[in-house]
Structure 1
């Protein structure tokens, strides 16, 4: 179904972090941006669609105007809002927001550090764009910061702090409803496997809390009102977001899942006067496997089914990031711990 393309070389190897790959497709310029975190550096590559031209950039996590104050980066992710795209970088010191090409830092938010030494580390992790103008970022305290982002410029403001988790945030995901009113459009996960489902707006509302099993939920997605969650057990669980009803549970991997991604525009089909929404799900784990799954939803019954489609083994590699490169799932990319390359696959 997929075949391996020429890899993209990066300046440094990938750190063993959840969701350690960012992808942004720039259709008007026929470019794709990739980001991979190594220690206190974000390696950024701009690649042409024909695979002939590349440019590299490195971003460091440091306080503005403090040249020597660097810290370990925990995540780098692209946030695509209707009016602009931003690259958000989280670390032990704060949150940085850049223009999508990494050329200009437009905002810096410093984290509150305790005056006395505590056992708990302080960091930010979990990044998601929400609705028209919000970017949400999780903290090690379990809080979630909501930033209001203007259509241009650097006048970004902290508009809300959401409290729903008691453990460190691991990941967040949102779903754009295309102008329709969404009951639930944001989900957050934490180190205890707990999920919180939110409704965005001028005031974000906590709609549902789905309890965990003391096993970290390392990656989470939201699709058609369904939460797709990957766990340290190697399992994938599908929940109805608003009610918390478990649709499916799959023993997807033999080891810790590090990354999930969804290609939302895979299509829809009509069968016996019923419309079925189709999507592709990508999962990647420490067991060196990347797997592609078929998600099917019947809107009338709100039932969701998952079926396995494809395996790819990246031999002797602890996979730490996997992303589709486009909305229809035609291609995907993979990173691995201590690998200085981004491995790409396209449909045959």
Structure 2
């Protein structure tokens, strides 16, 4: 059953969010979807932020109150070519035994220790199967078990087997199922069970592929696109949340691909989605200057997916290009915007 609501769900009146101290950037954020990565380090009372600008990625460490403590800039590995390659995404991958920072560009895939101090792996992209007019790039990054999956311009998804320590990283598999460039990849570590969908990949045509990870990845189902790109996707307890270029958020059943809810969430293209796994809150951000927070749940009677609107924040005069929760309960979030030289932070009252 599809629960479509052209007006969007009613606001529940949850806790208000207030603007906290922003974190200054040396360079403004590039106009890329999912252009913000956040790594929480509660044991050290720190938070890492990663933002892309051109051929460099800026890493920042900050205390909870927003005071910046350290900054580092990473540059895309040159490879062959006469101009510096543009970075397409930076993302921290939390594996069961280590955390790696992954950087993708028009030349290849770089993996670093979590603080960006040491590069442990470099994978060059092979442009041999692309035409001279087709751009070569990697984009879409997610950890699944002890694997890191990275999407490419050709629609292939590269699966890297990550050892518990050291640089002996191996390209173990290439997943086929997409025919247009990958836009985003999401996984749900809580769903790492036999027969359970625990990873979803999205592409420029809006097609979603649902996978079960393991020693070999298995394609479980494909959810057809409808001619609109899907820039961002999330997966939580068997629910796929997909954000599209027409401003819609669609919620699917991961195992079957059934559409449950369709929300006209934004007036322009969605640029980022994120999930707070402990409570099932979904954050959606778009080029219309708005960030919305939604609460996902399942009906105890029917098992159908339900959604309620919690809050909306307007980031005035800003084309939002990245947004992430800063804690697993969804009590705070951070936002980046095109040509904005700071990371905006909000927390609930």
TM over 0.5: yes
| Maintained 8 Å contact 2:60/2:72 | yes
Please say if residues 289 and 311 of structure 1, whose CA atoms lie closer than 8 Å, have aligned partners that are also in contact: yes
| Residue 298 of structure 1: how far off its partner (Å) | 3.7
Q: Conserved in 2, the CA contact under 8 Å of 1:62 and 1:68?
A: no
Tell me what 1:332 maps to. Answer: 333
Give runs of aligned pairs for residues 130-149 of structure 1, distance below 5 A. 130-131=144-145, 133-149=146-162
Contact 2:156 2:175 in 1 (8 A): yes
Residue deviations 1:289-313, cap 9 Å, x none?
0001111124664311111111100
**Alpha-carbon shift at residue 180 of structure 1 (Å):** 4.1
**2:269 aligned with 1:236:** no
How many residues get paired? 334
Q: Which residue of 2 aligns with 1:273?
A: none
Alignment correspondent of 1:105: 119
Q: Tell me the equivalent position of 2:312.
A: 311
Structure 1 vs Structure 2 CA RMSD: 1.7
Q: Distance in 1 between matches of 2:98 and 2:23?
A: 26
1:62–1:69: 8 Å Cα contact kept in structure 2? no
Extract unaligned runs of 5+ from structure 2. 1-15
More strand by share: 1
Question: Does the 8 Å CA contact 1:33/1:44 hold for their aligned counterparts?
Answer: yes
How far is the alpha carbon of 1:240 from its aligned partner?
0.4
Partners of 2:33 and 2:271 within 8 A in 1:
yes
Cα distance in 1 between the residues matched to 2:237 and 2:207: 20
1:256 and 2:261 are equivalent in the alignment: no
Show the counterpart of 1:202: 215
Within a 5 Å distance, the mapping from 1:1-348 to structure 2 comes to 1-63=16-78, 70-114=84-128, 118-131=132-145, 133-177=146-190, 180-181=193-194, 183-266=196-279, 279-298=280-299, 301-348=302-349
TM-score normalised over the length of structure 1: 0.93
Mapped partners of 2:191, 2:274: distance in 1: 19
* Contact 1:280 1:294 survives alignment (8 Å): yes
The equivalent of 2:9 in structure 1 is none
> What secondary structure sits across from 2:278 in the alignment?
strand
Contact kept in structure 2, 1:219 and 1:230, CA below 8 Å: yes
User: Partners of 1:116 and 1:205 in 2: how far apart?
Assistant: 26
- Equivalent residues of 2:94, 2:143 under 8 A apart: yes
SS of equivalent to 1:265: coil
C-alpha distance in 1 between matches for 2:83 and 2:114: 23
2:43 is paired with a residue whose SS is helix
Any stretches of 5+ residues in structure 1 without a counterpart? Answer: 267-278
Separation of aligned partners in 2, 1:215 and 1:292 = 23
Counterparts in 2 of 1:299 and 1:188: CA distance versus 1, 3 Å: farther
Give me the whole-angstrom Cα distance separating, in 1, the residues matched to 2:67 and 2:190.
36
Q: Distance in 1 between matches of 2:301 and 2:91?
A: 34
The separation in 2 between residues aligned to 1:201 and 1:44, in whole angstroms, is 31
CA contact (8 A) 2:191 2:197 kept: no
Cα contact 2:182–2:202 (8 A) shared by 1:
yes
Question: SS where residue 329 of structure 1 aligns?
Answer: coil
Structure 1 residue 118, shift from structure 2 partner: 1.9
Q: Displacement of 1:100 after TM fit? A: 0.8
* 1:288–1:313 Cα contact (<8 Å) kept: yes
